Amino acid sequence: MRIMLLGGTKDSINIIEFIKSNYDAYILTTTTTEYGARLAKEGGSDDTIARPLPKDELIKTVEENEIDLLIDATHPFAEHITQTSSGMAKELNLAYIRFERPPTNLKDIDTSNLHYAKSFDDAGKLIGKRFTEGNVLHFAGANTMEDILKHVSFERFYPRILKVESSLEKCERLNIPEDHIIPMTGAASLEENIELIEKYDASVMITKESGEIGGVIEKIQAANEKDIAVVMIKRPEIDGLNKNDIVSNLKELDIKLKNFF
């Protein structure tokens, strides 16, 4: 079985390790960064591609590598690639699985400091109107900074990002001071989040609703500990997905995989 995995998430590394431990499969993993590709290779992926692939290149890669199954394990907010890949799979009559991490269970979490926004632009507006004192910790990736900075001054803005060339270039273009950039190597612990809030005198934190694996609970708990606000951007609803193609954990993935092996 030849599998193409759209990766770049912790989920995708878990998937690679699981498949390699349980099935005889070749895995080609695509990510948007060299960092993501390196992690995929270390996880056991046979080959990697470390750059964004437009639809025509995705099709070419599938055909040239004689791919049997496409697994989309991209981030819940990477809606464009999910729409593109699911549509491409239909066109090519290619087996497709969407691995979608479940939403964060906040049943036992104090959400009194939590504020929801439908988009990053809305989040920026909310912060610009309601949270005008103190600094802003941005834990939502380099690609989302610009919408926030339409409404929040860069003097107050501290993004936690991967220190890769593309992200650093975005920071430079947006006039974000170098000493405001917080290097990221993975989800932060509760203690690390508290330290960042204290170090940067933050009054508000921005995050995506990226699930427990994305460290959402630790962010909310740290904000509660220091009594600051959390602005959380809701997940986009992705049109065109067949619910029967979606799995949310390795057990469900295994059931799907057994149909192909």
Same domain, 189 and 205: yes
For residue range 169-219, what is the model confidence (pLDDT) as tens digits? Answer: 999 999 999 999 998 877 789 999 999 999 999 999 999 987 777 789 999
- The predicted model scores a pTM of 0.76
Question: 200 lies in a domain?
Answer: yes
pLDDT 10s digits, 7-40: 988 899 999 999 999 999 999 999 988 888 999 9
Verify that 136 and 186 share a domain, yes or no. yes
pLDDT digits (tens, 9 = 90+) for 157-178: 999 998 888 889 999 999 999 9
**Count of domains in the chain?**
2
Give the domain CATH number at 217: 3.40.50.20
The answer to whether residues 63 and 121 belong to one domain is no
Who contacts 91 (Cβ-Cβ below 8 Å, separation ≥6)? 59
Contact 203, 130 (CB under 8 A): no
What pLDDT sits at residue 227? Answer: 96
What's the confidence (pLDDT) of residue 184? 83
114 DSSP β-pair partners:
230
Residue 66 within any structural domain of the chain:
yes
Give the number of C-alpha atoms closer than 13 A to the C-alpha of residue 36, restricted to the C-beta side: 23
- Over 90: is that where the pLDDT of 104 sits? no
- Whether 261 has a pLDDT exceeding 90, the answer reads no
User: Mean pLDDT throughout 216-227?
Assistant: 95
Predicted local distance difference test score (pLDDT) of residue 242: 85
The reported pLDDT for the residue numbered 231 is 97
Chain segment 108-145, per-residue pLDDT in tens: 899 999 999 999 999 999 999 999 999 999 999 898 99
Domain with 62, as residue range(s), is 2-102+237-258
Could you tell me if residue 141 is left (phi over 0), alpha (psi between -120 and 50 degrees) or otherwise beta?
left
